[in-house]
Amino acid sequence: MLHGQRLIDPALAAGYRREGFWPGRLVTDYFEAAVAARPARPAVVDNRFGSVTYGQLAHEVERLAQGLGALGVSRGDCFIVQLPNWRVFTVFHLALTYLGALTINVPVTYRQHELRFIARVTSAAGIVIPDEFRGFDFAGMIDGLRSELPALRVGVVVGERVPGRMRPYAEVVDCQPAQGRRAAFDNQKPAPDDVTAISFTSGTTGEPKGVMHTSNTFAAINISMARAYGLGSDDVIFMAAPLGHSIGLMHGVRLALFLGATLVLQDQWDAGIAISLIFREHATFTAGAPPLLHDLLSHPGLSVAGRLPSLRVFLCGGDFVSEHLLRTAPASLPFTFVTGLWGMTEGIGTACRRGTPLERRGTTAGQPFPGTEVRIASPNDGAPLPVGEQGELLIRGPQVFVGYFGRPDLNAAAFVPDGFFRTGDLAVVDDNGYVTITGRIKDLIVRGGVKISPAQVERVLSSDPRISAIAVVGAPDERLGERICAFVVLRAGAALTLQDLAAAAEQRGLAKHNWPERLEVVEKLPITASGKVQRHVLREWLAARRAALLQGENG
């Protein structure tokens, strides 16, 4: 058992197995079944590298597993996969599973600061990166960090430029699988209740938290999706959400392999290209954050593509979805069931099903998925609250993660004694079981579905000699939900612009999605008697400022 993995009540676990949510199969088992049943079916369609069938993918996966094994990657190793939405991501996830190694999926937006922390805390034995993507030199970044990461033994680069101590992907897979190698994989593969992947999510303390999932918890997520929306092997899943985030891994790579379906990937978001891919490949299912839905609905190419007649389901998750967006979606996507999906990296929780009235879809987060239990509890003492009262949302079920990597202390705070997980969100449940999210206990900023830790941004930028004090909060934004706003108290005689702040963030290796997008220079920050910043005061000021501006525009 990994350090930090919690013990699950045996009676609950037995129930999850009895009800079919924990089938005891690995993603490689589902993959092999798909290869045997339909080897000529397209497995992954990649808008950069093209398309491969399940049979071709099986050959590539086996060669990579053997190549990584020859380099010393073995059972229990943590391996960072920081790749765009390319086919190779799927290849690595399957190969690592065959070897019993853990996939650490990391967004391509992460830079030195985040990579250093994740590689150190996991003692990562390996990493795969692109040589360059969207103008950033990933190979140079990792080469510069190698001296600080003594546990990192294996480095693989997808692309042409490969630093001396790393290996090109083409070389690692350039081998012929030895006869009988598949049997050797059987001795290394993890058990269904072993941790198979770790995704890092921001924490209120500023340190990312490693969310651990097993093959069984992932399977429960996929089973819930398949049952709720009637998904099967004939479906085509379109995924533009980054595979380094939970939506891309759970509802893209893992769901496609679970179903034996086709996965269509887009590596850089562009609504026009997305519409073309969905139309050309006859995609039937997708999931993504609200900005993706917003951009699709407002793009003129949507009508040219016949309003995407193949697309049956769009699950919009990662952030609060505005009622206006959900109410206007049916007119632009008349063939598509569009609903909000409430969930976290820690596990999915609620969504609306087909037949749910539009009124419910626009105003609630839906009902719990099969197998998921919800409870509304008092944030003060944890006591259960009756229907209709606001409190903290707690969830329990087969889809919930098994703990934070290396942090049993966080598990003790996050789980109550009977196994319910404290989400940190405020919610209300009505008589019909519909959940309405009313706010967040935590101070995380949710920008376009990506959760950002204010404390992490503050810690990095507070070292700037011009800054005396800094507080980071979310500013309301129509498209992204929130943007990052920095309230800054300057040192005497100093001057600072937003461009200066962005330059400081880049110089200190902070990922671009963590850079402040608004700067408010103030004389002092509102603080409590104990010296804590009153972030709610800053958020209220921003909301009042925005309301006044909107009133002025409409007045």
Better pLDDT: 233 or 175: 233
Q: Is the pLDDT of residue 160 over 90?
A: no
- Which region among 173-182, 235-244, 339-348 has the lowest average model confidence (pLDDT)? 173-182
As a whole number of angstroms, the distance between CA 232 and CA 255 comes to 10
Helices and strands (H, E) in the chain, number of each type: 20, 27
Whole-number average pLDDT of the chain: 91
Percent of the chain having pLDDT more than 90? 75
List all residues 6 or more positions away from 486 whose beta carbon is below 8 Å from its beta carbon. Answer: 457, 461, 470, 471, 472, 501, 516, 518, 519, 520
22 or 450, which is more confident?
Answer: 22
Domain 445-548 has CATH 3.30.300.30: yes
Question: Are the C-beta atoms of residues 448 and 290 closer than 8 Å to each other?
Answer: yes
Query: For position 178, what pLDDT does the model report?
Result: 58
Q: What is the mean pLDDT of residues 147-170?
A: 91
**What torsion do the CA atoms of 58, 61, 66, 67 make, to the nearest 10 degrees?**
140
Instruction: Give the pLDDT score at 553.
Output: 65
Model pLDDT, residue 177: 61
Sign of CA dihedral 192, 200, 394, 290: negative
Query: What's the whole-number mean pLDDT along residues 180-201?
Result: 85
| Domain range 27-40+54-189, CATH class | alpha beta
pLDDT surpassing 50 at residue 373: yes
Is residue 148 a contact partner of residue 136, using CB atoms and an 8 Å limit?
no
Question: Which has the higher per-residue pLDDT, 203 or 441?
Answer: 441
**CA pair distance 187, 420, nearest whole angstrom:** 34
Is the pLDDT assigned to residue 179 strictly greater than 90?
Answer: no
Least confident of 113-117, 157-161, 321-325, 500-504: 321-325
Measured in degrees and rounded to the nearest 5, phi and psi for residue 528 equal -85, 175
pLDDT digits (tens, 9 = 90+) for 30-57: 999 999 999 999 999 999 999 999 999 9
| Exposure on the CB side of residue 133, measured as CA atoms within 13 A | 22
Check: CB of residue 350 under 8 Å from CB of residue 327: no
Q: Where are the domains of the chain?
A: 27-40+54-189, 445-548
Task: Find, among 318, 332, 362, 321, the residue nearest to 452 by Cα.
Answer: 318
Q: Is 50 exceeded by the pLDDT of residue 204?
A: no
* Amino acid occupying residue 227: R
For residue range 217-270, list pLDDT tens digits in order: 999 999 999 999 999 999 999 999 999 999 999 999 999 999 999 999 999 999
- Greatest mean pLDDT among 89-103, 376-390, 419-433: 89-103
pLDDT tens by residue, 460-499: 898 899 998 899 999 988 889 899 999 999 989 999 999 9
The residue ranking higher by pLDDT, 480 or 93, is 93
Single-letter residue type at 60: E
* Stated pTM of the model: 0.86
Instruction: Supply the pLDDT for residue 180.
Output: 53
For the stretch 494-519, pLDDT in tens is 999 999 999 999 999 999 999 999 99
pLDDT of residue 555: 57
Q: What is the pLDDT of residues 63-77, one digit of tens each?
A: 999 999 999 999 999
- CB-based contacts of 505: which residues, under 8 Å, 6+ apart? 457, 460, 461, 512, 514, 515, 516
pLDDT tens-digit readout, 406-464: 999 999 999 999 999 999 888 999 999 999 987 777 677 888 888 787 877 888 898 89
pLDDT on residue 312: 98
